[in-house]
Every structure is written in C-alpha cells, then in structure tokens.
C-alpha cells in the first residue's frame, strides 16, 4: 500500500490549555510524526530516537526451541537441493519473483505463514482501493455543482457501511485466490508455515521439523503497521490501517496521526462517508514527502475545502482508546520544544505512522546477519550482507523487509531482478524509475526526484536544473470531465534532456505517471520523447504538452529504426 508515511515518536507530556471543538474538547501533547516518502519508510530515514522506539515495537515471528536445537546439524551447505529457488513470503514481491522464476525454468517453492497476497492484497493496496472507489463515487453523487454542470440531477446519495466493507473484503479475497491459483497452475509449491533460516541454503518450515533446501533463497516477509510507544491500540476506537480497511464503523470525528499516503487516502474515504477528520503531523507542513509545489496544491484541493483540520509540528505522545463512555484521548506536545500543546478528545484515532519490517524470527542470527532497525541489510542487487560486511552467498532480500522502497510494485521489481541474477544475467534495478501514487480524488503521482532534491543534486554535481509545468485546465479530456483542477511538473537537465523527476496532481494521475517512469527506466531523453504521438483527446496529452514545453539544448538522438511507409 502506498503512502508517504508519518512516524510518531513518543515523549513525555503534561496538560495544557483547552480549546473547544464540536462534541469534545482538546488541550495538550502527543507523538511526533516524521513523514517519509512513498508508502513506507526508507531505513536511512530513521534517526537514533526512532531506532530505539522501532526496535521496541518490532513484530515478532514464532520461533521454536526446536530450531535452535537443530542448528548444529544444519550449518553446512547441502550437496543437493530440493528447489532451485525458495521464497519466504507470498506477498506481491514473492509472487512476482515466483512467476518469473518459473518462466526462467527454476523449480520454485514459496513459504507463507499467513495468507497468500501479503499486506498489499489483504490489508493494503487492494482493499484500500475498493474503499477509495466508493469514496470517489460518493463525492461525485454528493457534488451538486459538478452534477449540474453535466445537466444531471440525482437524489440524495447514501451508502450501506456493511456493503462497502464487503466490497473491499470480496475484492481482497478474489485477488488472493487469483494469486494462489496462478502459482499452483505454474507448478510453484506453496509451503504453509513460517520460514526460519537454519544455515546456508536451509530453511525450516512451520512448527514441524521439516527442512527444505534451495540453491538460492529470497526473503520477502514484508512489513506490519508501526505503532509508536505511548499509543494503545484496541482495534475499535484506536486503530491501524489493518483495522480501518474492515470499515467496522464510520466515526463522526476521527484523528489521523500522519499525513502521508496512508493518512491522505483514509481522509478521502472518511470525509466522503461523512466523518470529520483531524490530521496530526510532526513536521511543520502537511504531506512533507511530496514535491512542495504539488503538496501545496493538494492541500488546497484535498484538505482545505473538506471537513478536515490539522495540527502540524506536534507529536502524539499518548493515545488512550474510548472506554467507560469517555472519548479517545490524544495528548499532543510541540515537536521542537516538547512542551504540552493540546489534548484532543475524538471518537476514533487512526495511526498512519508508517510500517515496520517483519523480520524477527527469521533465523538471521544463524547466518550472522544483523538487522538495522529491523531491516535486512542488502546491496544494490538485493544480496544480503552479514555482520562483517560480507555478502551471504545465495541469499537475497526484497521488498519492505529491506527498506529500500516500501512499495508493493517495488518489491515485485526487486524479486524479478533477483531472479535475473540467479539465472545468470546481471541486473541492477533503478529505484529512481519506480513510480508512486496516492489514490485520493484527484490522485497524486510521482517518479524520480522532487525539485529540492534535484537542485541539491545539481549543485553537488555541477549541472543546471530546469522545471516545466502544464495544467489540466489546458487538456480537452479533463475539461470534458469537468476535472480541470490539476498540475503536471517536469524536473530535468536542460543540457542533455535527462528526466530527473515528474510529479502529477489531477484526474488519473496514477495512470499517467508511467510514461515518465518508463522513460527514466529506459534512459529516454526529453528531446526524443517529445516526438511521441498521443491520441486526442486523452489525458495522456498532459504529459505530451509537458515534454514539449521543456527547453532542451541537446538535439534529438538518431531514430532507432527507419520509418515504415504505410
């Protein structure tokens, strides 16, 4: 699932002045969310304070005494193998790697201790998009101005909460079954149980003493919601995204801790269904992981006109669930001074403070691997690095567990890259070419660097950075949909036409970003891509106009092939 995420650090708090609001009042301190880009946390983003907090809150995997007892007999490399490739974790990353491995002719097995599909399918990307599809329809039906512009009249729109929840659950079930069936159809063995590494190329599966060997092993165990110290989760009134996706209730007033991707998407859902939302953000601005210009526009469209207020520069140090007729209590402190700031009393609180790697109990100590704040250390080829800085032969780690980029499609791309390597073809994935999207209404998408990041890079490396922009108001298809609110932004090098980053806010931004991400992945320059032809009238012309508006000094490259006469 995606989301620039917010990490809330705990700190001591005390009471403060009271300010009235709606049914309840609010006064003082809380935890500090640190917003991180994309749907998860890059391990580089964790400071020492968070490291200690994260280590205290890391999820633990089952680890039996039988595993330790067996270690002395399982430290040597097996002479023959049960499988060419064994994947621990059947989420989107593991599934992508398994399918590519079969295509490459590898005998493959995948180990899953929970359910096939992992976080994305069961508790993330998939069910959240089902809820967002509902929120999008509700917004259209409730917007009299929008409907009248089309000459439409609709009576009062309503919804059935259980029906909405069932839609999300049914979609997750369908996709989960599709993934399972696709692997079975291709001959991938699905081994049920938690996988524990016993030694080189050896894995224990489940609570039995079954040991499986493989020439190469991929760790793809994913992540779970990160809950900072001081926050008490009851699954009803203080919840994580795992609980929120079940939509067991639609509270009148909900606080969302963190204004990254997860928080933004749920604010879209809750406000469309009638809730008031209060954001709690540790940094001084909302959506700090986005390009600043896009963030500013998104706040004007997604936050300001809706039933949303916010507190920035504060930590939620303590959150107590509703009980005995009392509301959820959220204590806030100033992020800089640590002085008490406010206390919120709300109906519910959603903790959208990022995700933590699910790596404990993997048996990494058996191969001398030490995690870094829970993340498995890897190199640019996803090869696992041990405590001495040496590569662990035949062992790889992909997806959220390595912390490079916590996105489902990034995990899949890393898995495919690993399979390429183990089948003899060197491959290094360019993470700057991997797009990210936030499925609000309108959507936000991006790939590559933000403008501040690009300018910093240009200063260090001595090149000029230019920016081009185009508005959705100039696009015929967007205007036909009465959706002209939007912006596309291109960050590039005018000397050679290299695309450094593209950011889009507007209708179907998540679909439009791929032309830019593919161009970055393939090394296509602006002076070449501006000759591409786009169907008219389509939203894709937003990118067409964007590339054409760039001022590049370099000339176009020679065509790849001669034109074909028709």
CATH number of the domain enclosing 473: 3.30.390.30
pLDDT in tens, 499-515: 999 999 999 999 999 99
* One domain, residues 379 and 296: no
pLDDT in tens, 359-380: 999 999 999 999 999 999 999 9
* pLDDT given for residue 402 in this prediction: 97
* pLDDT given for residue 154 in this prediction: 86
Binding-site members are 129, 195, 221-223, 258-265, 281, 354, 400, 406-409
Q: Let me know if residue 563 belongs to a domain.
A: no
Q: Which residues pair with residue 94 across a beta bridge? A: none
Q: Hey, CA dihedral for 131, 132, 137, 138, is it positive or negative?
A: positive
Please identify, among 353, 383, 406, the residue that sits at the C-terminal boundary of a domain.
Answer: 353
Q: How many domains does the chain have?
A: 3
Cα(463)–Cα(456) distance, rounded to whole angstroms? 10
Binning pLDDT at 50, 70 and 90, where does residue 77 land?
low
Binning pLDDT at 50, 70 and 90, where does residue 565 land?
low
Q: Let me know if residue 173 belongs to a domain.
A: yes
* One domain, residues 490 and 540: yes
Please identify, among 306, 327, 353, the residue that sits at the C-terminal boundary of a domain.
Answer: 353
* One domain, residues 212 and 121: yes
- Residue 45 CB: number of other CB atoms within 10 A? 18
Binding-site members for FAD are 129, 195, 221-223, 400, 406-409
pLDDT in tens, 389-409: 999 999 999 999 999 999 999
* One domain, residues 538 and 488: yes
* One domain, residues 96 and 167: yes
* One domain, residues 110 and 186: yes
Position 233 pLDDT exceeds 90: yes
Residue 52: left (phi > 0), alpha (psi -120 to 50), or beta? alpha
Q: What residues are labeled active site?
A: 536
Q: Let me know if residue 3 belongs to a domain.
A: no
* One domain, residues 217 and 87: yes
Q: Let me know if residue 270 belongs to a domain.
A: yes
* pLDDT given for residue 422 in this prediction: 97
Cα(141)–Cα(508) distance, rounded to whole angstroms? 18
Q: Which domain holds residue 411?
A: 83-225+356-423
* One domain, residues 251 and 317: yes
Better-predicted residue by pLDDT, 255 or 143:
255
Give the 3-state secondary structure of residue 565: coil
Position 64 pLDDT exceeds 80: no
> Taking a C-beta distance cutoff of 8 angstroms, is the pair 510, 437 a contact?
yes
Please identify, among 337, 353, 369, the residue that sits at the C-terminal boundary of a domain.
Answer: 353
* One domain, residues 403 and 448: no
What is the Rg, in whole angstroms, of the alpha carbon atoms belonging to the chain? 25
* One domain, residues 386 and 441: no
Q: Return the exposure string of 7-24: e unless at least 16 CB atoms fall within 10 Å of the residue's CB, then b.
A: bbbbbebeebeeeebeeb
pLDDT in tens, 258-312: 999 999 999 999 999 999 999 999 999 999 889 999 999 999 999 999 999 999 9
* One domain, residues 402 and 321: no
* One domain, residues 271 and 346: yes
């Amino acid at each position: 699932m995606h989301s620039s995420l917010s990490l809330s650090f705990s700190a001591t708090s005390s009471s403060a002045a009271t300010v009235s609001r709606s049914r309840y009042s609010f006064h003082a301190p809380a935890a500090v969310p640190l917003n991180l880009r994309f749907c998860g946390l890059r391990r580089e983003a964790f400071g020492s304070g968070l490291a200690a907090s994260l280590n205290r809150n890391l999820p633990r995997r089952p680890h039996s005494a039988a595993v330790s007892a067996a270690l002395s007999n399982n430290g040597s490399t097996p002479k023959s193998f049960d499988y060419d490739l064994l994947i621990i974790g059947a989420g989107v990353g593991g599934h992508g790697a398994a399918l590519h491995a079969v295509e490459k002719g590898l005998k493959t097995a995948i180990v899953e201790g929970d359910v096939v599909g992992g976080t994305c399918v069961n508790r993330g990307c998939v069910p959240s998009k089902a809820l967002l599809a509902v929120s999008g329809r509700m917004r259209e039906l409730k917007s009299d101005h929008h409907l009248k512009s089309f000459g439409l009249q609709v009576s009062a729109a309503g919804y059935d909460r259980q029906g909405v929840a069932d839609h999300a659950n049914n979609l997750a079930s369908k996709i989960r079954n599709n993934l399972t069936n696709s692997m079975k159809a291709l001959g991938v063995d699905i081994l049920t149980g938690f996988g524990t590494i016993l030694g080189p190329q050896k894995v224990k599966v489940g609570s039995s003493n079954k040991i499986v060997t493989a020439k190469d092993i991929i760790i793809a165990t994913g992540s779970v919601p990160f809950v900072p110290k001081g926050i008490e989760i009851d699954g009803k009134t203080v919840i994580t995204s795992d609980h929120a996706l079940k939509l067991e209730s639609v509270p009148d007033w909900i606080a969302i801790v963190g204004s990254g991707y997860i928080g933004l998407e749920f604010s879209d859902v809750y406000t469309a269904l009638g809730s008031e939302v209060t954001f709690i953000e540790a940094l001084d601005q909302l959506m700090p992981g986005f390009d600043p210009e896009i963030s500013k526009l998104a706040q004007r469209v997604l936050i300001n006109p809706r039933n949303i207020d916010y507190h920035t520069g504060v930590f939620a140090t303590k959150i107590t669930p509703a009980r005995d007729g009392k509301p959820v209590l959220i204590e806030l402190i100033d992020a800089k001074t640590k002085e008490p700031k406010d206390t919120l009393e709300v109906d519910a609180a959603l903790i959208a403070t990022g995700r933590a790697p699910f790596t404990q109990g993997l048996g990494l100590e058996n191969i001398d691997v030490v995690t870094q704040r829970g993340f498995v250390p890897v190199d640019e080829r996803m090869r696992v690095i041990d405590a001495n800085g040496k590569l662990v032969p035949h062992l790889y780690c992909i997806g959220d567990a390595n912390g490079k980029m916590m996105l489902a499609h990034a995990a899949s791309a890393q898995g495919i890259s690993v399979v390429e390597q183990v089948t003899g073809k060197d491959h290094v994935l360019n993470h700057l070419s991997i797009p990210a999207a936030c499925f609000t209404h309108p959507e936000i998408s991006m790939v590559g660097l933000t403008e501040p990041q690009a300018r910093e890079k240009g200063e260090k490396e001595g090149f000029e950075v230019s920016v081009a922009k185009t508005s959705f108001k100039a696009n015929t298809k967007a205007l036909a949909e009465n959706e002209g609110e939007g912006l596309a932004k291109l960050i590039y090098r005018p000397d050679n036409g290299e695309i450094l980053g593209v950011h889009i806010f507007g209708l179907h931004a998540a679909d439009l970003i791929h032309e830019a991400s593919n161009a970055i992945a393939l090394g296509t320059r602006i002076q070449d891509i501006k000759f591409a032809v786009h169907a008219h009238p389509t939203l894709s012309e937003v990118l067409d106009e964007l590339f054409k508006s760039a001022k590049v000094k370099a000339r176009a490259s020679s065509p790849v092939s001669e034109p074909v006469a028709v």
